[in-house]
Structure 1
C-alpha cells in the first residue's frame, strides 16, 4: 500500500502539463517555456559570401533578413523576432585582417615589410618607406626632433640627404573587409635608436565609423533589389 502511494506521488511530480498564456506556451510544473527553434549561425569571412548566400536563398527562408553591421570586422545576418522575442541567427561574417601592433616599435626591416603588405599605398606611406628603407645605424644619432616631426638622414647613392617625416601622417591600414575601401586616418610616426620605428593611432578610433558606413554602403549597392522588395533591412 505504501509503495503504491509513493509511486502515485512520484507520478504526479513527473507529470508535465502544457499551459498557454498570451500565445506563449509553458510547462506548468517547472515554469519552463516551450520555445520555437531558432537557427544557429555558421561563420564566413567575406561580404561577397554573405551577398551570395542571401541571393541564392539556399535554405529557402521565407522571412525577411536583417543585416546588422556590428563593427568594422563583424556583420550578422538575422531573422525576425518570434513569439519568445528571439530571432534566427543565420550567418556571422568576420573579416580576416592582418595583425599589426600599433604603438609598438619594429626594426626598420620588419616595419618596411608590414607597411608594404598591410597598408594601402599612398603618399605618406611612401614617405615613411623612404625614410626607413635607407636609414643606417649611425644616421639614427642624427635625428632632429622638434616634438612634432622628425628628420632622418638617409643614404641616396654616395650622398646623404635629410628627409623630414611629417606628423601626423595619413595612412590606410587593412582594418576591415577587403571588399570595401579601407578608411584613411591619422597616425603619429616615431623613430628611435635601433633603428626602430612605430606608428601610433591619433584619431580617437573614429575611423571605425567610416568603416561601418563603407560596409553598409557596399551591402546596399549589392543587395539593391532585395532592399527594394523589403527582403533585406540593414542596420549600421
Structure 2
C-alpha cells in the first residue's frame, strides 16, 4: 500500500501540516503576524554541566575551592550559598546561555542520629539520647539528672497555670523529694555541621508516669529560629576561611 505514495502526495501532507501565518492589521493600524497553530523554537541541546563534587565538611569544601582556584578551573565568577543548616554550595553568580546556574561543589554533613522530638521516651532511652545527641549546655545536665532521678510515683501538673509540673525524685539512698520541673529548657542538639557550634534553642520539657514507669518528652519551641542561627554560624565559618568569594546565607 505504501508503494503507491508519490512525492506529490508527501508534499501535500507537508503543506497541510505546515502552520500558516497571516499578516493582520488591527483597528489602530498596527500590523502583526498571527498563526492558528502554536510555534515552538527548536533549540540545540545544552552541553552537559560540570560534574558536581560532594564533600562532608566545611574544611573540605574550602580546600577544594582553593585547589581549583589555584588551577584556574573556574570559568565564571562564583559565590558560596548557604542553602540550609545542612547544605553549602559553590554556585555561579549568573546563569549560563542556557539559563542554568552551575553548581560545582556541595557540602553536606555525614548522616547522624537525631533526637526524637515530640515523642514520649522511657526514662533510660531519654537519658541516653540526651547524653549522646546534644552538645553541652547547662540545661543538658539538668535534664539528664532529672530524668535519671524520677521515681515511679505520680508526676502531676500544678494548679497554678496547668503547665508547670511537679515530680517526685530520688533525694538520696532512701529519701525522696518533690521538685518543680522547668517547663522550658535551652538545649543544643546536633543538627548541623559538627565543625561549628550547635545552635541553642528552647524546648518544652514534659514528664509523666506510664504503666511501665516514667516517660519524658522534648518539644521544639523556637519556631525554627535555630535554622537561621545555624546558617549564620556556617556563613561566619566560611568567611573565616578567607576564600575571597562572597558568602550568601
Q: Which has the larger radius of gyration?
A: 2
Preserved contact between residue 209 and residue 215 of structure 2 (Cα < 8 Å): yes
Q: How many residues align?
A: 210
Kept in 2: contact 1:97–1:176 (CA 8 A): no
1:83 to 97, 100, 110: 97
Whether 1:121 and 2:121 are equivalent positions in the alignment is no
Gaps of 5+ in 2: 15-39
Distance 1:165 1:142 in 2: 10
Other-structure match for 2:196: 180
TM-score if structure 2 supplies the norm length? 0.75
Shift of 1:62: 4.2
Give 4+ residue runs of structure 1 displaced > 4 Å after superposition: 1-6
Say what the alpha-carbon RMSD is for the aligned residues: 2.7
User: For structure 1, which segment, 39-48 or 122-131, has the greater mean C-alpha deviation from structure 2 after superposition?
Assistant: 39-48
8 Å Cα contact 1:143/1:153 also seen in 2: no
Query: Which has the larger helix fraction?
Result: 1
Does residue 130 of the first structure (1) align with residue 145 of the second (2)? yes
Distance 1:123 1:88 in 2: 44
The answer to whether structure 1 residue 35 and structure 2 residue 49 are counterparts is: no
Deviation at 1:44, TM superposition (A): 2.2
Q: Given the alignment, which residue of 77, 85, 89 partners 1:64? A: 77
Q: Point out where structure 1 has 5 or more consecutive residues left out of the alignment.
A: 13-28
Shift, 1:32, TM fit:
2.5
Question: Secondary structure of 2:88's match?
Answer: strand
71-80 or 167-176: bigger deviation: 71-80
Moved more, 146-155 or 30-39: 30-39
- The answer for the alignment partner of 1:192 in structure 2 is 208
